[in-house]
Structure formats: C-alpha cells, structure tokens
A and B are shown apart, each in its own frame.
Chain A
Amino acid sequence: MTTHSLPARTDTPARTDAGRPARPGPGRTRVPGRRLLRQRAGRQHHAGPLAYVLLGIMALLSIFPLYWTMVAASTDNTRVSQTPPPFLPGPNLFSNLARAWDEAAMGKAMINSFIVAGVIALSTVLFATLAGFAFAKLRFKGRNALLMLVIGTMMVPPQLGVVPLFMMMSELGWSQQLPAVIFPTLVSAVGVFFMRQYLSEALPDELVEAGRVDGAHSLRIFWSIVLPVARPAMAVLFMITFVHAWNDFFWPFVVLDMTNPTVPVALTQLSAGYVRDQSLIMAGALLGTLPLLAMFVVFGRQIVSGIMSGAVKG
C-alpha cells in the first residue's frame, strides 16, 4: 500500500498509457473512432527526434562544467592556462586530489561538511516528520494558523538576520565552531510542509484511529505507525536537506574561518590564494562535489521524485 517510493501523482504518466475513457463527452462511452482524433493529449505524445536532440543538449550543458572540472583537475597548471583549453583528462587526477585534500584544507572541510550536513539532515527529518504528522493528522486549536505561519517563514531569507546571529554566536562562544552553522538550520519549513503533504495522503486516518483504540499514546503512534509509513519521504527529505546543508554558503562563510571551514568556505579560499594553481583549484572543487554526485548517481530517481512530489502543491 504505502511501499511505493513516493506519492502516486509522480506515477501519472504510466497510468495514462492505455484504456483511457475517450473524452468527457456525453455518456462517457468508448468512442470507437477516437483514434481519428487529430492529436492525442499533450503528455501522451511520444518524443520526436527534435525533443531528444534538445534534451541531449540540455544534458550536455548540465554535465559539461563538471566534466571539465575533472579534466582541469587531472592536468597541471600550465596545461590549463593554455589555449585551446584541454578537453580530455590528463594523468594527474589523483595526485591533484591528494594535494587538494592535504594542502588546501579540503580534507578537514570534507569531514566538517559531513558532520554539519549529516546532523542538520537528521534533525530536520526528525522534527519535520513530528510536525508534519501533527499538522496532517492531529486536531488541535490553531492548527491552520500555525501551518500558515510555517509557510510564511519559507518566505524569509535567513541571510537577513545574519548580523544579530553573528553577535549571538560570538556571545555563545561558537564563532568559528560548527555548532554556529548547525543550530540555525536544525529545522526547515519546507521540510515540515513536505512531510505534511506526504502524510496527509500516505497515512490513512483509520491507522491512527486504530492505534488510539489500542490505547497507544501519541508518541507511540508516531513511533510505530507514522514512522514506517513516512520512511520513503523521510529518506528523500534527508537527501535533499543534506544537499542544501552541504552547499550552504553565506552563513558558513560569515561565521567560519579557514582553520575550520566547510567545503564551500574552503573553496573560496582556494580561489583567493596568491599563488593560483588552477588545476589544484579544480581538484578541490571536484572533491567537494563528489559526495553529492555519488548520491545523485545512486539515488537519482528518489531525489527527482522527491523534488517533484514536493512541488505540486507548493
């Protein structure tokens, strides 16, 4: 029942394949001559060669900068700075990666980023599922108002509070420390909304009611009924939050320094160095992107459907 990866609406193309009712005309009977319709409905068109070509170009443009990052990271500084630019990988990929890891502080940055993104993603998923469950299935006074408040907070860019936040962190003694980056992003309004949308559809009211009749209290219902149902959406939310936390730039750049950076912060230092070693810079950029790329290769389908399912009612 709820074992499919995400809400059913992402599957719509599959079910429109065959046996559609002809048209919303009189009687809704099958009209034998419907094949004579000049055109079929938009989404049922098969892609023509032009669509493949255009999408091919899109895919190429999407991937090429990363491919070229790899090419530049695998040559050396002199080759990168020549024209025409190199288009094929050179022999130095692993030595450059190793140099970036040691010399450019990328090693420490990667570990820091794993900690930061991991903690943020875990806590976002936990709190978003708790709140999403409450908003989707529990009745309480002020529910709608609070939900509107959650949605309203999405519109406020966190960057605007950066000055007081910086003061707060230096008062707490967290300047240049990872907690300064972790704490402000422990929750996410988008996450709460995402889990609410998912649970309103995927979690039948009867299941919650049955738990109540069995005498389970709310936390127990959450633990043994909601969590199993929510798991696929939680996995997707985890990955999306991880990506965002890994790539978050402004606040970490403000509050961290080069002795204790996250990946994006370390990357700015690479580019600002006095001795500019282009292939080293590119090796750093590649290193900082690899974990997310690996995640996209393995879980691409889930991430795509997660972003799409979060979108419709957004």
Chain B
Amino acid sequence: MAISTTHAPAGGESPGPAPRTGGTGTERRRLGALLHKLDIKGAPYAFVAPFFVIFAAFSFYPLVYTSYISLNRVELATLDVMEWVAFDNYVELWGDERFWNALANTITIGIISTVPQLLMALGIAHLLNYRMRASLFFRVASLVPYATSVGAAALVFTMIFERDFGMVNWALGSIGLDPVNWEHDKWPAQIAISTIVIWRWTGYNALLYLAAMQAIPADRYEAASLDGASRWQQFIHVTVPGIRSTIVFTIVLSTIGATQLFGEPLIFGQGPNGITGGADNQYQTLGLLLYEEGWKNYQMGRAATVAWAMFLLLILVFVVQRLIKRLRSRTS
C-alpha cells in the first residue's frame, strides 16, 4: 500500500479514470490503493481468463454437447432438427460390425505404429546423447518429418507404397520377392499407414527423450560404472528409469494420437476409398468412421456416438495404464 502515491505515473493505463479535479490528496490516495488492490486481486484472473474462456467455448462445451447429440437423430442437411432417440444410436453402434472393425483397426494400427516408434526414438535419443560432431544437424534432421504435414507425408508414402511402380515393391522385386498389394490387403495397408505415423513422430519423441536424458545427474552414471555396470546395463538401469516420466508422457501422447488417427488412412486410400478405409474397410479407423457417419451418411447423431466411443476408449486406456502402474509399484 505504500506505493499508492506513486501510482499516478503508471496510472495512464490503469483501469478506471483517476479523479483529476476536486479530489483531495487523501481521496486520491485511497482510490489509488483501491485500484492497486483490485489490480493485485483481479489481474491474475484477467490474465488466465482468455485461455479458459476460449477453451470453454470451443473445446469443453462441444465435448459435453457431443454426449447430448449422440442421444438424438440429427441429419447434416437439417442441423437444427433434433429427434430424441435416447440410446438408439449406441445400440445400433454396438450391433454394427463396422464399429468393431474400426475399433480393432484403430487398436492394431495404434500398436504397430506406437511400439516401434517409441523404441526407435529411445535408441536415437541415446545416440544423440553422445558427444559428437554435427549433433545439431542430426537433431534438426530428425525433426524434418515433424515439419511435414500429414497431407504431404501421406501423399509421398502412398506413392512409395504404390502397387505397380512404387519404390518399395521395386526394391522387393530387385531382391527377388513378390510385390505386395499394399492398399488392398489388410495387414500391408496397416503397416504402410503405421509407417507414415512412425516416420512423422519418431524424431520428435527422440528429442523429448534426449532432453530428459540430459537432465539425469552424471554421478548416477559414475556410481553405476564404479559398480562395474556395462554401457548396456547403464542404459537399462540408469537411463531408462531416469527418463521414465517422459516415457509415460510420450506413451500418453502417442495413445491419444493413435485413437484419433484420421489423415494418414484417409489420404492413403486416395479419395473415395479413403473415407471407408479401403474397399473392405480393411484400414478404417474410428476417426474415419466418425467422418463417414457424419459427412458421408449425413447422420450427425451417430457421428457424435462414435466420438463418444472414442472418448471412452481413451479413458479406458488411461484407467488400464493407471492400474498397471499401481500394480507395478505394489510389486516392486
């Protein structure tokens, strides 16, 4: 409160006009103190308000409203006409083969893309952690795929995996193997799509690991090497535990990404085949199913139901992850 007399110079931008005439010194001082108090109490909320207001309006509210829409029949052409159907959409979805297919595809593509991605990222981070020349080059190079949009990356890989003239089949042929029909067959298609995901995100995850590795105190390594631990043992017993929270963080991020997978399979299918995830839905993910229901079949209520199912899947994954964590900490 001691500063109330010196408030005036800065007052030009302060909220509320300062009384210029008629006020005695004490009044002005009192007003200054009041403004100061208001500033101290109110400014923090004003500073964080924009984030929460925009988040509430464009993220939280839609998320909650999704659950209401999923209990209605709404068509794309007439968005303001809602017909209450209670849980019909959920019952239909439960009985819909395409939903279970999309769920299974989302999980398998999620595993095929996440596990190798994070393991390779761990290895790359370990290599980047050496002292070396050109380390900046390698770090930036590992991030180049991250700078490439889903669209561009998926287009290139679609061409690389092309059946007739694609580079992968050409390479297979040159070592005497039969060409693979990457788009048409289920597992090849899922592997090709996972390759796009792996390519885009491995380097990014490697840098997250590298940052965490650099924060491990050097004396832990020294203690380990005094105990006669080999480099590999040091990696397993010092490095990996040292970056465990970052590993969990990347698993969470990749899991979220995997449940939302959309652009890669869409573009890989090249047009009409993309939305259905191939002619036999062999690589249709939940994200694609959501889009198909809403914007191809014009059933927004059912699209919202798929979205809600995706959300439940995510929660389920986190619950399982929590359980595993608790079990592990209990056993150790």
Binding site for B on A (CB under 8 A): 9-10, 12-13, 16, 20, 22-24, 37-48, 51-52, 54-55, 58-59, 61-63, 65-66, 68-69, 72, 80-85, 127-128, 130-131, 133-135, 138-140, 143, 146, 149-150, 153, 155-168, 170-171, 183-187, 189, 192, 212-220, 222, 243, 246-247, 249-250, 253-254, 263-268, 270-273, 278, 281-282, 284-286, 288-289, 292-293, 295-296, 300-301, 303-304, 307-309, 311-312, 314
B187: Cβ under 8 A from any A Cβ: no
Query: When the two chains form their complex, are residues B207 and A68 in contact, meaning their CB atoms are under 8 A apart?
Result: no
Interface positions of B from 210 to 251, Cβ below 8 Å from A: 210-216, 218-223, 225-226, 228, 231, 234-235, 238-239, 246, 249
User: Are A163 and B307 interface neighbours, CB within 8 A?
Assistant: yes
B129 touches A85 (CB 8 A): no
Q: Is B263 in contact with A249, judged by CB distance below 8 angstroms?
A: yes
For the complex, give the distance between the alpha carbons of A217 and B46 in Å. 13
Choose among A37, A65, A85, A158 the residue that contacts B226 (Cβ–Cβ < 8 A): A37
Cα A48 to Cα B132 in complex, Å, equals: 9
Q: Are B144 and A66 in contact (CB under 8 A)?
A: yes
Q: A162-B62, A189-B55, A308-B207 are in contact. Are A250 and B260 (CB under 8 A)?
A: yes
Residue ID in chain A nearest B273 by CB atoms: A272
Supply 26 A–B pairs (Cβ within 8 Å), ascending by A: A9-B214, A12-B214, A37-B222, A39-B225, A41-B219, A45-B131, A59-B137, A63-B141, A69-B152, A83-B170, A131-B51, A146-B48, A150-B51, A155-B256, A161-B62, A163-B66, A165-B62, A168-B62, A184-B59, A192-B48, A250-B260, A268-B274, A271-B267, A272-B272, A272-B274, A308-B210
Nearest B residue to A21, CB-CB:
B219
- The answer to whether the Cβ of B71 comes within 8 Å of any Cβ in the partner chain is no
Contact of A164 among B66, B231, B234, B274 (CB under 8 A): B66
* Selected contact of A303 from candidates B3, B54, B137, B143, CB within 8 Å: B143
Please tell me if B191 contacts chain A, counting CB pairs below 8 Å. Answer: no
Known: A157-B256, A249-B263, A300-B136. 14 other contacts (CB 8 A): A65-B157, A66-B156, A134-B44, A156-B63, A157-B260, A184-B58, A186-B54, A215-B3, A250-B287, A263-B149, A268-B267, A295-B147, A311-B211, A311-B212
Is B6 among interface residues, defined by CB-CB distance under 8 A?
Answer: yes
Contacts of B220 in A (CB 8 A): 41
User: Which A residues lie within 8 Å of B119 (CB)?
Assistant: none
User: Contact check: which of B40, B47, B51, B129 meets A187 at CB < 8 Å?
Assistant: B51
B interface, over-half SS = helix
Q: A282 vs B173: C-alpha distance in the bound complex, in angstroms?
A: 24
- Whether the Cβ atoms of A314 and B246 lie closer than 8 Å is yes
* Closest residue of A by beta carbon distance from B221: A41
Asked if B99 is at the interface (CB within 8 A of a chain A CB), the reply is no
Complex formed: what's the CA distance from A83 to B308 in Å? 46
A163 touches B153 (CB 8 A): no
Let me know if B128 is at the binding interface, CB within 8 A: yes
Measured CB to CB, the nearest residue on chain A to B249 is A314
Please state if B149 and A249 are interface contacts (CB–CB under 8 Å). Answer: yes
Query: Which residues from A are CB-within-8-Å of B266?
Result: 253, 268
Question: Which chain B residues lie closer than 8 Å to A189 at the CB level?
Answer: 51, 55
Partner of A311, one of B43, B142, B146, B208: B208
